[in-house]
């Protein structure tokens, strides 16, 4: 390969990472992190009539369910003991699936857990490769963790970008309502926690955000919490982020009615966030509902038995989706909705995918038939468009040298020009 061709390749690779950003006004997606596992196990997906879906399942979600985005989680070194609990997504896995998502013309939301296993309000464990010896209050040090977050985030994003899997959204931490990377209980962030405890947390986030801006400057940064059932707590969290100067673009929320309450509670939280942070769009990055086997209230932290409103049936699941979409359409700050684990489909043909069923997916775990609610998710897009129609754009004044149409002359435009001349000089 000639030097000229090598230079051109480098420029085009840089462009691929720089220009990744969402083209969609409203985002409808699913966390499909387990889809490759089901596919590799030979799992059958069927339509509502029980006939095998013969097209590529990612394309099915795109074309039939009208999803324009996919969320994929990333673990540092997935704990092999948790493989049948959904913990399999290492960097190679995410790279392969991420490229497939981008090749399908869909947006890619990268959900970085910064852990070897599930990160959530109860667990935010430091990856085992990020320290030696015994984990304690000072091992690893705060400085070491800040450096690890930055270098890991940067390394992952560079690798994904170089391999055609540049994320459009980067979620820095998963359900981080109480902080992240806990060494001991003293690292957890509560309203009563010390200023230094919160500062440690926001420094970690700022380190992650710095890496995102450097490698994928057009990607939107998502800060994700699960306090959708408590408007005051959600507002307080993002106020702390604002005070600390944490760089982010999108408020990400989990909303599960059996944990967070009924739709009026969610509505109050969304209204509070819109009033407090009018420039920050909100994405519901996780939601789901049971179509069978609803757990008893009080089990697994469940607070609400919502089956009187939405029975744990296929029809009840569909009704929940329809009601949720209608509610979200009333809030102008809500720009995105992701259904969590819609691809759930039993244990897989070889019984190797899952250890136990959740029964919240959009395919029946027994019959493998699609639940009717899957096709109702697109109500989010149609109702948002109806309630918030796009205003015609005013003609933009042309800027000499602006090749990518953003109204500015930046390094991206220079890179485009270099790439053009290198191609012409071949």
CA 67 to chain centre: 14
Query: Among the options 175, 226, 327, 412, which is catalytic?
Result: 175
Q: Per-residue confidence at 178, pLDDT binned at 50, 70, 90?
A: very high
Query: Among the options 59, 226, 242, 286, which is catalytic?
Result: 286
User: Which range (29-43, 141-155, 294-308) has the least confidence?
Assistant: 294-308
Residues near 395 by Cβ (< 8 Å), separated by ≥ 6?
A: none
- Tracing tokens 């029975």 back to the chain, one arrives at 311
Whether the CB-CB separation of 2 and 150 falls below 8 Å is answered with: no
pLDDT of residue 425: 66
Is 286 annotated as catalytic? yes
Q: Per-residue confidence at 303, pLDDT binned at 50, 70, 90?
A: confident
pLDDT at 195 over 50: yes
Q: Per-residue confidence at 15, pLDDT binned at 50, 70, 90?
A: very low
pLDDT at 413 over 50: yes
φ/ψ of residue 235, rounded to 5: -60, -45
pLDDT of residue 11: 45
Average pLDDT over residues 380-407: 77
Is 175 annotated as catalytic? yes
pLDDT at 292 over 50: yes
Average pLDDT over residues 176-201: 97
pLDDT of residue 10: 41
Distances (CA, A) of 90 to 72, 115, 131, 212, 405: 11, 11, 19, 19, 36
Domain limits, the chain: 3-390
Looking at domain 3-390, its CATH superfamily turns out to be Glycosidases (3.20.20.80)
From the list 276, 261, 364, 350, the residue with the least C-alpha distance to 317 is 364
Average pLDDT over residues 119-134: 97
- Tracing tokens 């405890």 back to the chain, one arrives at 197
What pTM was estimated for this model as a whole?
A: 0.89
pLDDT of residue 368: 96
Average pLDDT over residues 144-153: 98
Whether the CB-CB separation of 338 and 29 falls below 8 Å is answered with: yes
pLDDT of residue 18: 44
pLDDT at 13 over 60: no
Long-range contacts, 229-234 (Cβ 8 Å, 24+): 229/255, 229/259, 229/260, 229/261, 229/265, 229/266, 229/269, 230/269, 231/265, 231/268, 231/269, 231/271, 231/272, 231/273, 232/272, 233/177, 233/191, 234/269, 234/272, 234/273
- Cα(49)–Cα(42) distance, rounded to whole angstroms? 20
Q: Tell me: the pLDDT tens digits for 28-48?
A: 999 999 999 999 999 999 999
Distances (CA, A) of 302 to 39, 323, 338: 31, 21, 21
pLDDT of residue 414: 76
């Amino acid at each position: 390969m000639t030097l000229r061709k090598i230079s051109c390749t480098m420029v085009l690779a840089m462009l691929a990472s720089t220009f990744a950003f969402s083209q969609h006004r409203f985002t409808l997606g699913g966390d499909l992190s387990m889809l490759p596992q089901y596919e590799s196990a030979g799992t059958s997906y069927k339509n509502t009539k029980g006939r095998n879906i013969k097209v590529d399942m990612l394309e099915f979600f795109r074309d039939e369910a009208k999803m324009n985005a996919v969320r994929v989680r990333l673990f540092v070194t997935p704990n092999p003991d948790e493989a049948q609990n959904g913990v399999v997504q290492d960097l190679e896995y995410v790279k392969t699936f991420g490229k497939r998502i981008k090749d399908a013309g869909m947006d890619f939301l990268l959900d970085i857990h910064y852990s070897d296993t599930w990160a959530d309000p109860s667990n935010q464990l430091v990856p085992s490769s990020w320290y030696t010896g015994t984990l304690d209050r000072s091992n690893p040090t705060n400085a070491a963790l800040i450096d690890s977050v930055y270098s890991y985030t940067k390394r992952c994003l560079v690798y994904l970008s170089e391999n055609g899997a540049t994320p459009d959204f980067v979620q820095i931490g998963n359900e981080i309502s109480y902080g992240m990377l806990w060494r001991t209980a003293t690292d957890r962030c509560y309203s009563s926690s010390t200023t230094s405890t919160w500062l440690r947390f926001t420094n970690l986030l700022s380190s992650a955000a710095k890496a995102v801006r450097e490698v994928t400057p057009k990607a939107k940064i998502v800060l994700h919490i699960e306090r959708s059932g408590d408007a005051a707590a959600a507002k307080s969290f993002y106020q702390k982020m604002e005070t600390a100067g944490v760089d982010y673009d999108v408020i990400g929320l989990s909303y599960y009615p059996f944990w967070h309450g009924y739709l009026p509670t969610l509505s109050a939280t969304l209204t509070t966030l819109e009033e407090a942070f009018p420039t920050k769009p909100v994405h519901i990055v996780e939601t789901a509902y049971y179509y069978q086997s609803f757990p008893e209230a009080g089990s697994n932290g469940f607070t609400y038995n919502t089956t009187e409103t939405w029975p744990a049936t296929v029809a009840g699941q569909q009704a929940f989706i329809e009601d949720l979409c209608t509610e979200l359409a009333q809030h102008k700050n809500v720009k995105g909705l992701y259904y969590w684990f819609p691809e759930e489909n039993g244990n897989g043909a070889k019984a190797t995918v899952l250890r136990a069923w959740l029964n919240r997916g959009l395919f029946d775990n027994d019959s493998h038939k699609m639940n009717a609610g899957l096709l109702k998710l697109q109500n989010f897009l149609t109702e948002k468009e109806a309630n918030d129609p796009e205003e015609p754009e005013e003609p933009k004044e042309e800027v000499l040298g602006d090749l990518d149409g953003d109204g500015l002359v930046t390094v991206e435009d220079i890179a485009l020009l270099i790439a053009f001349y290198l191609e012409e000089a071949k």
